[in-house]
Chains A and B, each alone.
Chain A
Amino acid sequence: MAKVSVLNVAVLENPSPFHSPFRFEISFECSEALADDLEWKIIYVGSAESEEFDQILDSVLVGPVPAGRHMFIFQADAPNPSLIPETDAVGVTVVLITCTYHGQEFIRVGYYVNNEYLTPELREHPPLKPDFSQLQRNILASNPRVTRFHINWDNTTDRLEAVENQAPALGCGAPLSCTPVKGLGLPGCIPGLLPENSMDCI
């Protein structure tokens, strides 16, 4: 069993302008004191099409972690707009929060992020070149996708278990058939999910 289980991730200051930093309040429980730090990362998926547009917004070490419940706020700067394909600037994408221990990822929390213009005019007539200053970022905080991985928490040479993928029912059964990327079907799911989630966000 995982020594660390994430209890909650609260998305703070949401929605917010595109350029404002991401802020997550993460609470987790640790069943026994960890010898080493946890490493948390925020990854912004620039484009659903390819991993190469993923941006690691920030990575922090969290520790020491004794047994118990803990919380911290993970803040990271907004993604670099220049690294985002223009076609993907507006619309739904994904932000991932991952946590690794000893270099092994054991949890991945994904949120759908909807970037859209604030004004109806811009929405209807988006500029050819995305105007990031006018974009509002809305994280679909109510619907995290949590994927847990079984990792070796001790330094013993325990054989790693098969990846366990916990996908909550999103209310849309079909899109899960997409090919997994990084052991997680998330980015690939987006096209299928898009209409519905857009609706949710609006």
Chain B
Amino acid sequence: MKLLKPTWVNHNGKPIFSVDIHPDGTKFATGGQGQDSGKVVIWNMSPVLQEDDEKDENIPKMLCQMDNHLACVNCVRWSNSGMYLASGGDDKLIMVWKRATYIGPSTVFGSSGKLANVEQWRCVSILRSHSGDVMDVAWSPHDAWLASCSVDNTVVIWNAVKFPEILATLRGHSGLVKGLTWDPVGKYIASQADDRSLKVWRTLDWQLETSITKPFDECGGTTHVLRLSWSPDGHYLVSAHAMNNSGPTAQIIEREGWKTNMDFVGHRKAVTVVKFNPKIFKKKQKNGSSAKPSCPYCCCAVGSKDRSLSVWLTCLKRPLVVIHELFDKSIMDISWTLNGLGILVCSMDGSVAFLDFSQDELGDPLSEEEKSRIHQSTYGKSLAIMTEAQLSTAVIENPEMLKYQRRQQQQQLDQKSTTARETGSTASVAGVVNGESLEDIRKNLLKKQVETRTADGRRRITPLCIAQLDTGDFSTAFFNSIPLSGSLVGTMLSSQSSPQLLPLDSSTPNSFGASKPSIEPVAAAGTRPAGDSVSKDSVNATSTPAASSPSVLTTPSKIEPMKAFDSRFTERSKATPGAPALTSVTPTAVERLKEQNLVKELRPRDLLESSSDSDEKVPVTKPSSLSKRKLELEVETVEKKKKGRPRKDSRLMPVSLSVQVSSDPSMYIEVENEVTAVGGVKLSRLKCNREGKEWETVLTSRILTAAGSCDVVCVACEKRMLSVFSTCGRRLLPPILLPSPISTLHCTGSYVMALTAAATLSVWDVHRQVVVVKEESLHSILAGSDMTVSQILLTQHGIPVMNLSDGKAYCFNPSLSTWNLVSDKQDSLAQCADFRSSLPPQDAMLCSGPLAIVQGRATTSGRQAARLFSVPHVVQQETTLAYLESQVAAALTLQSSHEYRHWLLLYARYLVNEGFEYRLREICKDLLGPVHYSTGSQWESTVVGLRKRELLKELLPVIGQNLRFQRLFTECQEQLDILRDK
């Protein structure tokens, strides 16, 4: 072990409270007291490590100093990526620093030191929340969160992807919180406070997991900090200042059951800081000795108020080394180098010490791969499943693969260079601004300077902007130079995609909102023959053009999701006897398909009604997810009326109605009942207006509801008649006799769907004149208590989808004659699944179609972010797989090719990212099909209208992203080539 005290690392004699070595080991930061402010200094590491560099005057020692903190800086911590530095101080602030590459060297204006800052670190975020001094800050593994603790007794969890968002404020300590540490697998965060307790919090819900007090009962007095630490294998948490039999200790807390049986004893005064070595070690195998596998162990440095430092190996009973009198005052912070062989220690006395160990002393560090294997075996999850290092050792076997890899790298480079170029316009401050050198600008500044007079006659100078700052786009900047791998990409994507999603999110409820259209009695009544004794009121159910959302879709033309809602605008009007002249429109309520028995109860009556050839009909209700009026009530009232007046009550019937076809905003249908024709015969008139072209036709019976699409117009009349017309008004079929009165009518393309009051569903393709769904009963899906149909949808492939009030959605699969569950709002899979890392970069989540409509646009990515580490990884993998598979299957059943492709690619990408070879292989095999034609093959070359082999070609680059699948990649590639050559 070598010991060095680099005297040049100092804050001019002022205390240094914190030290942290940059993850790349090239620099380190110190924080503490400045001249009259807080001070953060970034130092060059090489002069510490190399004596030659220390002597070389051309090698800068101090890289940057920041005096922005108004008061003493208590903690400095680099993010795991090394991109950011967080500092917290007595000014209650946490500042997040990022290196600004484009600004040349500069000094702190007015500071005595004429030393130029070699590197420029700019404050990109200031986090304000604490009401007292910030004592410690800590980045979570993967830099998803930043935690800070303060003398205000709280711990604040910041969203490190979206500063300054606060995810949680952990309250519970009753004393100054002076130390923080994250569990290396991200499941917990621990804090230690002056209230003689150490608390462990869950990251799942940010609630208290446990509070440990016993080892701290005797703790008196105060230390400035209580920096605790979690071992890299996650098994042990070691506290700062604890007491055992009146002696100061560092308490070891076992993760299993939070047991406190062991401690590090020996320091004469309170332990201020504990820091685990980031590496896990194993015994150095000596040549010749029996190669018996030794247990991996951890290494831990403990600093104390007694000014001494001890270094422990968990495999030894006694410390590896104890250094007394290292400083004149208490040790304040310790930082290990990433290779685990060096530590920097700082002290209240304002000096820093560096300890350099050899591998002989500490042991062989486990590779990251081995470390992640330990994590994986212990917790089922590793934070570094696919490390860069691991990948680089793989041999690329296929030149095509190499090409893909290269192309990927190139793209990343391009991205970087474009971002560099973006900032580049302002980049060369010292050089050129708009083609002018700074010198030129300075010369002409006075001449060019824009000076105006304000209203009150004061001079106002418009300053010349010489550089823009890259603030404001923190989140994008955050990830610019992070290699695209692992879940960070996911965070990036989610952060990028969320703004894109917003418009969609907002437009979706909009289009759904069409189900509660503004219903205004149209003045059309006034234009009708006034002599008509029966009051007429036409109802115009306007819908917001449903096509609003497709503007963001990639293939909007193919998707006409809103067609299905047509008939929901078949509003009915009821003329109440009391006010026959002017009727108010009541949006009649929910399709209230009751439990089976009630439906049964209803049915005979209906039948009775129709058999008695009465004009009466059960009032048709329209499905609406919003209106909660109950059909049964209505039915009863109608029943009563019927009983009271056995004759027909025409006022119960709509006199006229108009329907706008939402899939085609230029099209609307108008219905006018009881138009008196020659000879006193009352007819009903159907009018359809499309792009200004109008046609009319008459029907002999009252029209109850109408629906239209771009291909057909259909109306349901009394006496259970359903008539279908072409877009030009030509009758396509003789009236269809429905088995029971109509409830809801839908048209999509050439498909007509009729839902009857007896809860049966039929779908016909009127062009091909075939039945798609034949009188299928809804009872099987409505079984259970109190369920209603909240939304009905007919896809363009004629697949009916029922959204039920319990959040489930079923589609009818005509080929299997089954109801299939395609969506469940309460689906826990959807909530656990985390596939953000597999989302395609551009059109993330921008997939629309029947499935999206059925499932709603509720993206759970927000919740997933919070669950990033919460579920054991294996469970999360399984749920994600299950969820993605069900999505693929649902899209397939709905025959939504666009969505099928989207989910399939997503699924494949997830398989690639997580390394599931068998399933990936199966997919590829199915998509590829038999290369050599064989008659016995059942293989279909297309799936929902997509060519499977084209899909496979799309998949290839995805597969090529993971070197592990290069064999599979090669196989598919070669076979596709063979097929192409054929």
Residues on A lying within 8 angstroms of B by beta carbon are: 1-2, 5-9, 23, 25, 27-32, 37, 58-75, 109, 144-146, 148, 150, 161, 164-170
User: Which are the 3 A-B pairs with shortest beta-carbon distances?
Assistant: A146-B110, A168-B112, A70-B463
Interface residue from B111, B464, B469 paired with A72 (Cβ < 8 Å): B464
Q: Does B467 contact A (CB under 8 A)?
A: yes
Residues from chain B with a CB closer than 8 A to the CB of A165 are 36
The answer to whether B35 touches A65, judged by C-beta atoms less than 8 angstroms apart, is: no
Say whether, besides A72-B449, A75-B446, A1 and B95 are in contact (CB < 8 Å): yes
How many angstroms between the C-alpha atoms of A60 and B68 in the bound complex?
A: 26
Say whether, besides A1-B123, A59-B458, A60-B459, A7 and B465 are in contact (CB < 8 Å): no
How many angstroms between the C-alpha atoms of A112 and B789 in the bound complex?
A: 84
Interface residue from B68, B465, B472 paired with A70 (Cβ < 8 Å): B465
The answer to whether A164 touches B37, judged by C-beta atoms less than 8 angstroms apart, is: yes
The answer to whether B109 touches A144, judged by C-beta atoms less than 8 angstroms apart, is: yes
Residues from chain B with a CB closer than 8 A to the CB of A75 are 446
How many angstroms between the C-alpha atoms of A74 and B93 in the bound complex?
A: 33
How many angstroms between the C-alpha atoms of A5 and B122 in the bound complex?
A: 11
Sample 5 A-B pairs with CB under 8 A, ordered by A number. Answer: A7-B109, A25-B442, A31-B471, A71-B466, A75-B446
The answer to whether A168 touches B463, judged by C-beta atoms less than 8 angstroms apart, is: no
The answer to whether A25 touches B445, judged by C-beta atoms less than 8 angstroms apart, is: yes
Given contacts A65-B463, A167-B35, 7 further A-B contacts (CB under 8 A): A1-B70, A1-B123, A67-B471, A71-B464, A74-B461, A146-B110, A168-B111
How many angstroms between the C-alpha atoms of A164 and B465 in the bound complex?
A: 28
Residues from chain A with a CB closer than 8 A to the CB of B110 are 6, 109, 144-146, 166, 168
Residues from chain A with a CB closer than 8 A to the CB of B426 are 68
Residues from chain A with a CB closer than 8 A to the CB of B938 are none
Say whether, besides A1-B126, A146-B109, A165-B36, A62 and B469 are in contact (CB < 8 Å): no
How many angstroms between the C-alpha atoms of A29 and B467 in the bound complex?
A: 9
Name the distance in Å between B35's Cβ and chain A's nearest Cβ. 6
How many angstroms between the C-alpha atoms of A2 and B123 in the bound complex?
A: 11
- Chain B residues within 8 Å of chain A by Cβ, number: 40
The answer to whether A31 touches B35, judged by C-beta atoms less than 8 angstroms apart, is: no
Residues from chain A with a CB closer than 8 A to the CB of B557 are none
Name the distance in Å between B348's Cβ and chain A's nearest Cβ. 22
How many angstroms between the C-alpha atoms of A169 and B103 in the bound complex?
A: 26
Interface residue from B91, B441, B460 paired with A60 (Cβ < 8 Å): B460
Interface residue from A69, A144, A150 paired with B465 (Cβ < 8 Å): A69
The answer to whether A62 touches B93, judged by C-beta atoms less than 8 angstroms apart, is: no
The answer to whether A161 touches B91, judged by C-beta atoms less than 8 angstroms apart, is: yes
The answer to whether A72 touches B445, judged by C-beta atoms less than 8 angstroms apart, is: yes
What 1/0 mask marks residues of chain B from 444 to 460 whose CB sits below 8 Å from any chain A CB?
01100100001000111
How many angstroms between the C-alpha atoms of A2 and B70 in the bound complex?
A: 9
Interface of chain B residues 108 through 164 with chain A (CB within 8 A): 109-112, 123, 126
Interface residue from B446, B460, B472 paired with A37 (Cβ < 8 Å): B460
How many angstroms between the C-alpha atoms of A8 and B461 in the bound complex?
A: 17
Q: Does B639 contact A (CB under 8 A)?
A: no
How many angstroms between the C-alpha atoms of A31 and B100 in the bound complex?
A: 13
Q: Does B804 contact A (CB under 8 A)?
A: no
Q: Does B597 contact A (CB under 8 A)?
A: no
Residues from chain B with a CB closer than 8 A to the CB of A27 are 466
Residues from chain B with a CB closer than 8 A to the CB of A32 are 471-472
The answer to whether A31 touches B469, judged by C-beta atoms less than 8 angstroms apart, is: yes
Which of A31, A74, A144, A150 has the most B CB atoms < 10 Å from its CB? A31
Name the distance in Å between A144's Cβ and chain B's nearest Cβ. 5
How many angstroms between the C-alpha atoms of A10 and B456 in the bound complex?
A: 29
Q: Which residue of B lies closest to A168 (CB)?
A: B112
Name the distance in Å between A22's Cβ and chain B's nearest Cβ. 13
The answer to whether B36 touches A69, judged by C-beta atoms less than 8 angstroms apart, is: no
The answer to whether B469 touches A61, judged by C-beta atoms less than 8 angstroms apart, is: no
Q: Does B462 contact A (CB under 8 A)?
A: yes
Name the distance in Å between B168's Cβ and chain A's nearest Cβ. 23
The answer to whether A60 touches B458, judged by C-beta atoms less than 8 angstroms apart, is: yes
The answer to whether A61 touches B466, judged by C-beta atoms less than 8 angstroms apart, is: no
Name the distance in Å between A118's Cβ and chain B's nearest Cβ. 26
Q: Does B67 contact A (CB under 8 A)?
A: yes
The answer to whether B472 touches A71, judged by C-beta atoms less than 8 angstroms apart, is: no
How many angstroms between the C-alpha atoms of A68 and B110 in the bound complex?
A: 20
Residues from chain A with a CB closer than 8 A to the CB of B777 are none
Residues from chain B with a CB closer than 8 A to the CB of A68 are 426, 465-469
Q: Does B481 contact A (CB under 8 A)?
A: no
Q: Does B844 contact A (CB under 8 A)?
A: no
The answer to whether B458 touches A61, judged by C-beta atoms less than 8 angstroms apart, is: yes
The answer to whether A7 touches B464, judged by C-beta atoms less than 8 angstroms apart, is: no
Name the distance in Å between A37's Cβ and chain B's nearest Cβ. 7
Name the distance in Å between B380's Cβ and chain A's nearest Cβ. 43
Q: Does B488 contact A (CB under 8 A)?
A: no
How many angstroms between the C-alpha atoms of A29 and B463 in the bound complex?
A: 11
Name the distance in Å between A149's Cβ and chain B's nearest Cβ. 10
Interface residue from A29, A58, A166 paired with B67 (Cβ < 8 Å): A166
Residues from chain A with a CB closer than 8 A to the CB of B126 are 1
Q: Does B429 contact A (CB under 8 A)?
A: yes
How many angstroms between the C-alpha atoms of A49 and B231 in the bound complex?
A: 63
How many angstroms between the C-alpha atoms of A166 and B39 in the bound complex?
A: 12
How many angstroms between the C-alpha atoms of A69 and B112 in the bound complex?
A: 22
The answer to whether B106 touches A7, judged by C-beta atoms less than 8 angstroms apart, is: yes
The answer to whether B35 touches A1, judged by C-beta atoms less than 8 angstroms apart, is: no
Q: Which residue of B lies closest to A27 (CB)?
A: B466
The answer to whether A60 touches B36, judged by C-beta atoms less than 8 angstroms apart, is: no
The answer to whether A29 touches B469, judged by C-beta atoms less than 8 angstroms apart, is: yes
Name the distance in Å between B971's Cβ and chain A's nearest Cβ. 53
How many angstroms between the C-alpha atoms of A169 and B110 in the bound complex?
A: 10
Name the distance in Å between B108's Cβ and chain A's nearest Cβ. 9
Say whether, besides A67-B469, A69-B466, A170-B112, A60 and B461 are in contact (CB < 8 Å): yes
Residues from chain B with a CB closer than 8 A to the CB of A58 are 459
How many angstroms between the C-alpha atoms of A23 and B454 in the bound complex?
A: 22
The answer to whether A61 touches B35, judged by C-beta atoms less than 8 angstroms apart, is: no
Interface residue from A66, A67, A73 paired with B449 (Cβ < 8 Å): A73
Interface of chain B residues 406 through 451 with chain A (CB within 8 A): 426, 429, 441-442, 445-446, 449
How many angstroms between the C-alpha atoms of A70 and B461 in the bound complex?
A: 11
Name the distance in Å between B836's Cβ and chain A's nearest Cβ. 30
Q: Which residue of B lies closest to A2 (CB)?
A: B68
The answer to whether B460 touches A62, judged by C-beta atoms less than 8 angstroms apart, is: yes
Name the distance in Å between A52's Cβ and chain B's nearest Cβ. 24
How many angstroms between the C-alpha atoms of A59 and B460 in the bound complex?
A: 9
Say whether, besides A31-B469, A72-B449, A109-B110, A164 and B36 are in contact (CB < 8 Å): yes
Say whether, besides A37-B460, A69-B429, A166-B67, A6 and B445 are in contact (CB < 8 Å): no
Say whether, besides A6-B109, A70-B465, A71-B466, A1 and B459 are in contact (CB < 8 Å): no
How many angstroms between the C-alpha atoms of A63 and B600 in the bound complex?
A: 77
How many angstroms between the C-alpha atoms of A23 and B446 in the bound complex?
A: 10
How many angstroms between the C-alpha atoms of A74 and B464 in the bound complex?
A: 12
Name the distance in Å between B422's Cβ and chain A's nearest Cβ. 14
Say whether, besides A1-B68, A69-B429, A63 and B462 are in contact (CB < 8 Å): yes
Residues from chain B with a CB closer than 8 A to the CB of A67 are 468-469, 471-472
How many angstroms between the C-alpha atoms of A62 and B460 in the bound complex?
A: 5
Residues from chain A with a CB closer than 8 A to the CB of B446 are 23, 73, 75
How many angstroms between the C-alpha atoms of A132 and B125 in the bound complex?
A: 51
Residues from chain A with a CB closer than 8 A to the CB of B70 are 1, 150, 161, 164
How many angstroms between the C-alpha atoms of A66 and B465 in the bound complex?
A: 8
The answer to whether B35 touches A166, judged by C-beta atoms less than 8 angstroms apart, is: yes
Residues from chain B with a CB closer than 8 A to the CB of A166 are 35-37, 67, 110-111
Name the distance in Å between B692's Cβ and chain A's nearest Cβ. 51
How many angstroms between the C-alpha atoms of A150 and B67 in the bound complex?
A: 13
The answer to whether A70 touches B464, judged by C-beta atoms less than 8 angstroms apart, is: yes
Residues from chain A with a CB closer than 8 A to the CB of B462 are 62-64, 72
Name the distance in Å between B126's Cβ and chain A's nearest Cβ. 5
The answer to whether B461 touches A61, judged by C-beta atoms less than 8 angstroms apart, is: yes
Name the distance in Å between A66's Cβ and chain B's nearest Cβ. 7
Name the distance in Å between B190's Cβ and chain A's nearest Cβ. 29
Interface of chain B residues 908 through 964 with chain A (CB within 8 A): none
Name the distance in Å between A152's Cβ and chain B's nearest Cβ. 12
Q: Which residue of B lies closest to A150 (CB)?
A: B70
